[in-house]
Amino acid sequence: MKSAAKPRDRDTRHPEPADRPAPDDAWLDEVIACLAAGKAVRRDFAEGGRLHIDRPLPFLCVFVAGAKQAVVAREITQSHASYLIAPDAAAAATVIAAVGRVIQERLGAFFVLEYGELDHDDPPARDAPYLPPFTIEVVASKEPAAQAAAKAFLGAVGTIEGKFRTAHMDLLEPPLKEQADGAPLTTFPCISVRFAPIYRETGTQRIYPELRERLIANIFDAGLKALAAATASTTDIRVSTHRAFGRKTFVETVTRTDRAIDEIAASFDFLLAVTPINSDAAWAEFVSSRHQVAPRLLYRPLTLEVEAAKKKLFSIGFEHLEDPLLYALYREKQQELDLQLSMISAREGRTFVEFGRALYGPVEAKLLDVATDILAQTQNRVSKPGQKPAIDAVDSAYIRNRAQVMVSTYKRQYADFNASVELRDDIPAGLLVSRSQLLIARSTAMSRNRVEALLNHEIGVHLLTYFNGSAQGLRLFRSGLAGYEGMQEGLAVFAEYLSGGMTLARLRLIAARVVACAAMLSGAVFPETYRLLVDQHRFQPDDAFNIVLRIYRGGGLAKDAIYLRGLVQLLAHLAAGGSLDPFWMGKIAASHFTAMQELSLRGLLSAPAVRPIFLDDAHARSRLDRARAGITPLDMIAE
């Protein structure tokens, strides 16, 4: 269910109502000139009126304020790409007539959808054994476009659930709402929608926020379907989905909100904040205790004032966005940042693990079965603990040099690919991306044949989606939509497979993280989880320690289960005919596919600025075709 913006009485970027002109002839002449030239219009006028048309469309959505505080009808109206907020019916009729003439001349048709609210709701009695339907009234003029719109609206709205209350729909006969002098609001084809204010408590008039958002989202969607039906019945305009009639421009408030959210997201690095800085000393301490006592872990001192950051986070208002989809995306991100800040505040505390469970979810039984099966089926193919196989190892300096070469390759394709590569002494062995930086632990050593695959993981996915997200115009797509990490890590692991670098050891490590995470969430302590990996699953002692260190950092971090979870989801997505293309546009989850599709249809997203270079390899394309035919994680191991 998508959410929508909260009510707004006036846009503070515009003059006060007393300074705004009424929609007189000169004012309307300017509007008509803009529309005739195909330009966007956003004009405020007297008493809180506003005309917003972001592109020529064969319709106008209208809300007549009058004396009623029908806040939801107003919000639904201003969620559309073409809308009019009028202080009274007379002003509405004047603007509709002027706009309608020029739009009809340009596009061959014009249609009006008016929203309003009924005076009251008939709530159920406190002791009622069931919840009665709530009323939605639709009045349609007799033209084919209006009749098609009414039919589409009623069909869509019939599925609405308002907190266990279904919609009871009445299709009424004209006349439509009239002005005081008896003249109709418009002579263009029109439907008028009225719904019961079920989002308000009867008597106190207190708002039910969740119910309001649900009502806005559903009626807005039904309205788009009505507009699509009216358009299809009277013009040659065809769209693949009614959502294509949504906004194609961001209002200024969206940009301000996006910058405010990004400023908070950029004020801290969650993973660095919960990653120990003494991993080598911790291993030595653990060995000295004969693997019986959890080591003491040290962390970077926090420069972040969590309470101040939270106060700033929740001071960001989304009520001015005028876009239900963006409202939902930013609200989700706000909640995710809140959980991350709570975790940082609870670092090394008892509640840290529970906040992590809320952020990353539990380890599902099915996921644990997949991980356990991988470890069981590969156990006979690994060396016994204490017997390290000989490998052609390279050090961190070599990895840094290869990383810089890869970054340069991407930069030649896209000049704004301004990634930096840095060796660090304060992170555990391995690689870590922090926004536009690739951090490499100086203690890192790995097999030479794993380097390119791992760099494709970090640079070809994590950094690439950061810079592609930056190019989208909204920074939300570079910091990541809420919940993006699982699919992002699954995609990054899949990049290793496409690069021919998915080894037995790597897949076992990813599976072991799931098993260790499940043990931690079930209450096992550090030494118990370590022994589980060494004794039962035959991991080398230092490898097992590094896995467990990641799982227990900060007080118990549930994040590491997302690698295998995301990989399994991605393989299922590809086997079902899904595409990888949307994933390169920014940091998103599979659950955002519908949102990304809608934003693309509305022209608010562009194609990726740069694509992964590993996809240019013929072997990678062959592996991708194989994945589309259906494979399991075990099928990904390089021969």
CATH number of the domain that 150 lies in?
3.40.630
Is residue 340 included in any domain, yes or no? no
- Sign of dihedral through CA atoms 214, 218, 224, 226? negative
Q: What is the pLDDT of residue 1?
A: 34
Is residue 322 included in any domain, yes or no? no
Query: Which among 79, 330, 124 is positioned nearest to 218, based on CA atoms?
Result: 79
Q: Does 144 lie in the same domain as 277?
A: no
> Which is it for strands 134-140 and 420-424: parallel, antiparallel or unpaired?
unpaired
Structural domain harbouring 625: 269-303+346-636
Tokens, residue 69: 């505080």
Q: Does 279 lie in the same domain as 236?
A: no
Q: Does 293 lie in the same domain as 224?
A: no
23, amino acid identity? P
* pTM exceeding 0.75: yes
Q: What is the pLDDT of residue 366?
A: 97
- Domain count across the chain: 2
Taking each helix axis from N to C end, the angle separating 306-313 and 324-345, rounded to the nearest 10 degrees, works out to 170
Q: Does 294 lie in the same domain as 178?
A: no
Low-confidence ranges of the chain (pLDDT < 50): 1-18, 176, 178-182
The Cα–Cα gap between 146 and 168 comes to: 20
| Sequence-separated (6 or more) residues with CB below 8 Å from residue 338 | 310, 313, 314
Is residue 339 included in any domain, yes or no? no
Q: What is the pLDDT of residue 19?
A: 56
Measured in whole angstroms, the distance separating CA 542 from the mean position of its chain's CA atoms is 38
Q: What is the pLDDT of residue 129?
A: 58
Number of continuous H segments (helices) and E segments (strands) in the chain: 23, 13
The Cα–Cα gap between 372 and 489 comes to: 20
Q: What is the pLDDT of residue 7?
A: 33
Q: Does 278 lie in the same domain as 235?
A: no
Q: What is the pLDDT of residue 11?
A: 36
Q: Does 239 lie in the same domain as 279?
A: no
Q: How far is CA 107 from CA 219, 224, 344, 585, in A?
A: 26, 18, 55, 33
Q: What is the pLDDT of residue 18?
A: 44
Q: What is the pLDDT of residue 387?
A: 59
Is residue 7 included in any domain, yes or no? no
Which residue, chain included where needed, has tokens 């872990």? Answer: 297
| Sequence-separated (6 or more) residues with CB below 8 Å from residue 383 | 389, 540
Q: What is the pLDDT of residue 317?
A: 87
Is residue 10 included in any domain, yes or no? no
Q: What is the pLDDT of residue 388?
A: 62
Q: Does 515 lie in the same domain as 440?
A: yes
Is residue 416 included in any domain, yes or no? yes
| Sequence-separated (6 or more) residues with CB below 8 Å from residue 256 | none
Q: Does 294 lie in the same domain as 200?
A: no
Give 5: exposed, middle or buried? Use CB within 10 Å, 0-12, 13-18, 19+.
Answer: buried
Q: Does 478 lie in the same domain as 396?
A: yes
Is residue 521 included in any domain, yes or no? yes
Q: What is the pLDDT of residue 14?
A: 36
Q: Does 294 lie in the same domain as 380?
A: yes
Q: What is the pLDDT of residue 384?
A: 67
Q: What is the pLDDT of residue 10?
A: 31
Q: Does 594 lie in the same domain as 451?
A: yes
Q: What is the pLDDT of residue 371?
A: 98
Q: Does 360 lie in the same domain as 245?
A: no
Query: For residue 140, what is the enclosing H or E element?
Result: strand 134-140
Is residue 165 included in any domain, yes or no? yes
Tokens, residue 617: 């390899």
